[in-house]
């Protein structure tokens, strides 16, 4: 790790996604680390190539074309470290989300304690829980064995027992696991992570060690009933994930060699970055990051140095897209569309998109469908992730989303949205932030790559974040209120640096914009009416300093929770009006 910028090293970061592979270059410019440029190419995990290293090489070649810098030799291998001639890079990190969703079986004692921790642990990687075995599982052992044999999981996570606590119950639950895997062919046996009572590690090695080549141990996720510590086990699970992917995806071992082992799951790398940012931002609010792409929707939240990470492949926009209908309906998706689209057209689009996830919307109708699907998927992911946010997180009303500042957002859905107005509308509808927050778009999807780079170079993420590589949308004000459409709920005055002022009256059901460009700042005075609450208290006024952005200050007067009109024609007209207000046209 460099200790000064004199020792600053160039760093190449590669993200292997389900539909595209990106190569991003960071280097020192004028004594500071900067994001230089990126290149992208279609991912090559699937047929006909089936070698992820080819997609990475293609992305690096695209980067070479943009920068004029030679990074690959004549054999298309990475030149590392950088040479005196200016070719190559000093270091490489890799993040990966490509590949089929892993199937995991979780094992624990109590459903609301150790099994719940195992479920959260499984959600730190691109996996779906297909079965759970606990004390309250009344299935006989032979049925449990049959289930494991039928499901053939990629991963088994075993938790349970506080340190020094229960032992016999855990040992009993290991019996069907061992028997089932004994009956599986050796090459089909899952990887196993034990993160339970530490005193049982030797016993677990004795009973399972001969059956599993890939048996791992981590600190107890529940060292006591009221203490949950997922991070050591999540770190071990991320390594296991990469090892599983090496067996599934040809060429990943090449990238792992180039990166000297610095390969992480994309979602886990994003979670690492959020832990860093939650320490960096000293605020009473939390910070939130959302990423909605082909592989999954990823929700990460930081609260005073601690963070939550939720990776939901079932809410991804790629090959898993038809699974979305297991969690919602076609009608719920269509309520977000500004166009009159039939359920049959939407169903066809879902299946076509799952077959060709890299396809870009080609018509206005396709664009509307794509954005409606993204809203519903992100909304479902947020609702699910919110259950894992700490109860102590600050909020304006019980049961509502915590207060966040800033909110960072990235992923293909935002890249495809067309402009900042469409992107912000998607976020306002799906996340429904409350109070006052800053919204930042990670238009180059750098957050996970910075998280991966942070383990090698802790200075690089800080300076890249401060360099303007992210797009500030501006300040969002979202009052918590329910009222009749057209009722005045807020008066706002923005005072600019030159002392000029802009005033607006916000009516319930409307969105208003106060212009404030990037680099500008001002004082925003808010006078809530009808007991609206923007964070100062119900009906209480206040002043805050605000910074500009692509859209300035946006006041979302549609209330929280957001309720769309039942009448379809009225709803579509309102959506068009809101989009027009934000420049979405």
| Alpha-carbon span 315 to 299, nearest angstrom | 11
pLDDT, tens digit, for every residue of 296-324?
999 999 988 788 999 999 999 999 999 99
- The CA distance from 312 to 320, in Å, is 10
* Residue 401 contacts residue 433 (beta carbons within 8 Å): yes
User: Tell me: the pLDDT tens digits for 213-226?
Assistant: 889 999 999 988 88
Instruction: Return the beta strands (E) in 429-484 as ranges.
Output: 435-441, 471-478
Following DSSP, what letter does each residue of 385-440 receive, concatenated? Answer: HHTTS-TTS--SSTTSPPPEEEEEEESHHHHTT-SHHHHHHHHHHHH---EEEEEE
Average pLDDT over residues 355-369: 89
Tell me the domain boundaries of the chain: 5-96, 102-248, 273-312+389-581
Fold exhibited by the domain 5-96: Ubiquitin-like (UB roll) (3.10.20)
Query: Does position 494 have pLDDT exceeding 80, yes or no?
Result: yes
Does residue 169 have a pLDDT over 90? no
**Distance in angstroms (rounded) separating the CA atoms of residues 422 and 395:** 27
How many C-alpha atoms does 478 have within 13 Å on its Cβ side? 27
- Domain 102-248 fold is Rossmann fold (3.40.50)
Determine the pLDDT at residue 127: 96
Residue-averaged pLDDT of the chain: 92
pLDDT at 31: 87
The answer to whether the CB of 126 falls within 8 A of the CB of 296 is yes
* Exposure class string for 433-459: b at 16+ Cβ within 10 A, else e: bbbbbbbbbbebbbbbbbbbbbebbeb
Q: Say whether pLDDT at 199 is over 70.
A: yes
Q: What angle do CA 479, 474, 503 make, to 5 degrees?
A: 60
The pLDDT confidence band at residue 282, using thresholds 50, 70 and 90, is low
Compute the distance between CA of residue 11 and CA of residue 25 in angstroms, rounded to an integer: 6
pLDDT confidence bin for 3, thresholds 50/70/90: very low
Is residue 557 pLDDT above 90, yes or no? yes
Taking residues 40-44, report their average pLDDT.
95
d(CA 361, CA 500): 42
What pLDDT is attached to residue 11?
95
Percentage above 70 pLDDT, the chain = 98
The per-residue pLDDT for range 378-416, each reduced to its tens digit, is: 999 999 999 999 988 999 998 899 999 999 999 988 876
């Amino acid at each position: 790790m460099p200790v000064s910028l004199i020792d600053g090293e160039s760093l190449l970061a590669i993200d292997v996604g389900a539909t595209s592979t990106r190569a991003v270059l960071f280097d020192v410019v004028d004594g500071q680390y900067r994001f230089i440029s990126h290149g992208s190419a279609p991912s090559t995990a699937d047929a006909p190539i089936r070698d992820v290293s080819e997609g990475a090489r293609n992305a690096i070649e695209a980067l070479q074309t943009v920068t004029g810098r030679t990074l690959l030799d004549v054999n298309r291998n990475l030149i590392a470290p950088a040479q005196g001639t200016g070719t190559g890079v000093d270091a490489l990190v890799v993040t990966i989300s490509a590949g089929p969703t892993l199937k995991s079986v979780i094992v624990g004692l109590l459903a609301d304690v150790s099994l719940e921790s195992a479920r959260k642990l499984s959600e730190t990687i691109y996996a779906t829980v297909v079965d759970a075995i606990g004390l309250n599982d009344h299935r006989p052992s032979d049925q449990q064995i049959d289930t494991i044999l039928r499901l053939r999981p990629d991963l088994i996570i075993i938790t349970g027992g506080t340190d020094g606590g229960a032992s016999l119950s855990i040992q009993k639950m290991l019996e069907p696991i061992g028997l089932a895997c004994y009956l599986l062919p050796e090459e089909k046996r899952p990887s196993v992570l034990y993160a339970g009572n530490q005193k049982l590690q030797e016993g677990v090695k004795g009973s399972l060690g001969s059956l599993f080549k890939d048996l791992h141990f981590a600190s107890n996720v529940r060292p006591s009933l009221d203490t949950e510590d997922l991070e050591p086990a999540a770190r071990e699970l991320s390594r296991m994930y990469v090892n599983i992917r090496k067996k599934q995806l040809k060429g990943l071992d090449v990238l792992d060699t180039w990166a000297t082992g610095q390969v992480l799951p994309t979602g886990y790398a994003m979670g690492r970055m959020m832990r860093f940012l939650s320490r960096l931002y000293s605020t009473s609010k939390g910070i939130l990051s959302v990423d909605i792409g082909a592989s999954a929707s990823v929700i990460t939240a930081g609260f005073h140095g601690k963070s939550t990470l939720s990776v939901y492949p079932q809410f991804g926009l790629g090959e898993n897209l038809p699974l979305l209908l297991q969690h919602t309906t076609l009608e719920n998706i269509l309520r977000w569309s500004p166009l009159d689209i039939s359920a049959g057209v939407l169903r066809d689009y879902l299946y076509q998109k799952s077959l060709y996830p890299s396809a870009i919307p080609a018509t206005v109708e396709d664009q509307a469908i794509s954005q409606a699907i993204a809203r519903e998927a992100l909304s479902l992911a947020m609702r699910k992730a919110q259950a894992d946010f700490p109860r102590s997180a600050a909020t304006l009303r019980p049961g509502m989303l915590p207060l966040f500042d800033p909110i960072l957002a990235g992923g293909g859905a935002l890249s495809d949205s067309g402009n900042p107005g469409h992107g912000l509308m998607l976020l306002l509808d799906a996340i429904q932030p409350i109070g006052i927050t800053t919204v930042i778009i990670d238009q180059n999807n750098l957050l996970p790559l910075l998280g991966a780079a942070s383990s090698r170079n802790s200075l690089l993420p800080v300076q890249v974040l401060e360099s303007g590589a992210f797009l500030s949308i501006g300040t969002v004000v979202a009052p918590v209120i329910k009222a009749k459409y057209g009722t005045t709920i807020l008066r706002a005055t923005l005072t600019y640096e030159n002392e000029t002022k802009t005033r607006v009256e916000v009516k319930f059901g409307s969105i208003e914009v106060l212009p404030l460009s990037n680099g500008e700042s001002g004082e925003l005075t808010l006078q809530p009416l009808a007991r609206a609450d923007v964070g100062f208290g119900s009906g209480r006024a206040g002043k805050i300093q605000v910074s500009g952005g692509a859209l300035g200050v946006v006041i979302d007067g549609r209330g929280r929770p957001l309720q769309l009109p039942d009448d379809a024609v009225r709803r579509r007209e309102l959506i068009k009006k809101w989009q027009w207000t934000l420049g979405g046209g």
